[in-house]
Amino acid sequence: MCIRDRDKESIAQAADILRRGGLLAIPTETVYGLGADGLDETAVLHIFEAKGRPQDNPLILHIPDASWLTRYCEDVPDAAYKLAERFWPGPLTMILKKKPCVPLRTTGGLETVGMRCPDHAVTRAIIEASGVPVAAPSANTSGRPSCTTAEHVREDMWGKIDGIVDGGPCQVGVESTILDLTCTPPRLLRPGGLPLEALEEVVGPVAVDKAVTERLKDGEQPKAPGMKYRHYAPRADLTIVEGPSDKVVETMNRMAAEAEAEGKKVGIIATDETASRYPHGLVMSLGARSREEEIAMHLFEVLRKFDDTDVNCIFSESFEDAAIGAAIMNRLLKAAGHQVIHV
């Protein structure tokens, strides 16, 4: 079932799927989510099964507004309400202490839970009509690039879920920023659509978890999605080249030529400023560096486009690790398995 209309009947139909324990792909401003009743352990289990997702990888609960926080969270700090007033609806997930009604299956065994209010009016209306908090990781097969259109969801999930709400292309294109409010100072667990600098304007200094730039070790428990496992990866091997622009272009051209000489099919992730400087391989531009929001919006789309080709190795430029660039680099690092060449 694919739901495209935004009338009350369609919203009620979508909400009924959630209430009945079904799986529903929902649009948000960041990426499409694979939603289910976050209080229904069986429905939550079906999320993990449909995605092939490790069960220690926590899920985020989506709610229509901040008034729902106390239904599912204990000891909600004032900072949470200040952040919600400033940034909700929007691409911010807050980690809070959970109430017993939130199953451990939803939280990956943790006593904390991620809470978010998505900036998509139709999805908020569906959640409100369902009367339940919606657990919703990205609606892709685990490990693959996230879905930013309903067509991407169909490619990965058709036949595995009960419905798709087609809300058009996502406008942010990378997942939400995750901020842990159960510690002092608050800790950034995942960069995303809301820059760190904006958070610090409201709550003051924010610590940055090591998992933002490093791999968690075996046995370490991820406190939020996107911290531990390889994510966002295209089928082809991906390598990031980092350094001054001219050296990056020179190195990527040399590596591309060597790979082609070995019989490999090469892909290049470039920007508008450099795309014409790559004579080898299939070149795709993410957009202009002066508009990093555009680059973020196109990142997963480009990674998935490479999956539709015969490319088997990809070389990518890197991006400044600040503002939305931090989210772009985090996703590229995860997609590349932290395979980076410094020049």
Taking the C-alpha atoms of residue 318 and residue 336, their distance in angstroms, rounded to an integer, is 12
pLDDT of 225 over the 90 cut: no
* pLDDT score of 54: 85
**With bands split at pLDDT 50, 70 and 90, how would you rate the model's confidence at 223?**
confident
Q: What is the pLDDT of residues 80-97, one digit of tens each?
A: 999 999 999 999 999 999
SS3 of 276, please?
Answer: helix
CA angle at 300 for the pair 136 and 332, rounded to the nearest 5°: 100
β-bridge partners, 62: 116, 134
Tokens found for residue 49? 């099964």
**pLDDT one-digit tens code per residue, 237-262:** 999 999 999 999 999 999 999 999 99
**What tokens appear for 59 in the block?**
């899920």
User: What is the rounded CA–CA span in Å between residue 315 and residue 335?
Assistant: 12
| DSSP secondary structure string for all residues of 170-236 | -SS-S--EEEE-SSSS-EEEE--SS-HHHHHHHH---EE-GGGTSPPPTTPPPSSTTSSS--S--SS
Q: What is the pLDDT of residue 226?
A: 64
Spatial separation of the C-alpha atoms in residues 49 and 262, rounded to whole Å: 38
**Mean pLDDT across 172-184:** 97
Residue 1 — very low, low, confident or very high, per pLDDT cuts 50/70/90?
A: low
Chain segment 104-126, per-residue pLDDT in tens:
999 999 999 999 999 999 999 99
Which 8-state DSSP code applies to residue 151? H
- Over 90: is that where the pLDDT of 154 sits? yes
- Find out whether the peptide bond into 205 is cis, omega within 30 degrees of 0: no
What domains does the chain contain, in order, with CATH numbers? 2-212 (3.90.870.10), 237-342 (3.40.50.11030)
- 157: nearest Cα among 66, 22, 29: 22
pLDDT grade for 5, boundaries at 50, 70 and 90: low
Q: In this structure, are residues 122 and 165 in contact, taking their beta carbons and an 8 Å threshold?
A: yes
What is the spatial distance between Cα 62 and Cα 170, in angstroms, rounded to a whole number?
16
Q: Residue 148 burial (CB < 10 Å; 0-12/13-18/19+)?
A: buried
Bridge partners (DSSP) of residue 115 are 61, 94
pTM, entire model: 0.93
The DSSP element (H or E) to which 315 belongs, if any, is strand 313-317
Quote the radius of gyration of the chain (alpha carbons, Å). 20
Instruction: Answer whether residue 224 shows pLDDT above 80.
Output: no
CA distances from 228 to 33, 58, 140, 173, 224 (A): 19, 11, 17, 21, 9
187 has pLDDT over 90:
yes
The angle subtended at Cα 103 by Cα 100 and Cα 108, nearest 5°, is: 120
Can you tell me the mean pLDDT for 60-89? 98
Q: Per-residue pLDDT tens for 230-243?
A: 678 899 999 999 99
